[in-house]
Amino acid sequence: MKYPIPKNVEEIIALGEEPVNEEVVAAAIAGVIEIARSQGQSLDELQTLVLADDNLLDLAQRQWLSQALEEAWQNWPGSG
């Protein structure tokens, strides 16, 4: 992967400066999972945050992101 996994929120936000592509999205998802796990958050808590209504993503996009997070979370090293 061209982009390192972000270690904090600032690094995730910095990814927003990059052109959107699969690697940027994958790096952002990986960073969110790493940060959430390090803070003791569960997948359910993370999905609740993602699915909350906001002005950035529409419902279909939030649902897609929630599913992508779930898939990545379940396949994360040490999850099994």
pLDDT digits (tens, 9 = 90+) for 11-36: 999 999 999 999 999 999 999 999 99
**Percentage of the chain modeled with pLDDT above 70:** 98
Query: Contact 66/51 with Cβ under 8 angstroms?
Result: yes
Q: Higher confidence at residue 5 or residue 1?
A: 5
User: Which stretch of DSSP H or E encloses residue 74?
Assistant: helix 59-74
Task: List the chain domain ranges.
Answer: 9-74
Q: What percent of the chain has pLDDT over 90?
A: 81
Place of tokens 């997948």: 43
Predicted TM-score (pTM) of this structure: 0.84
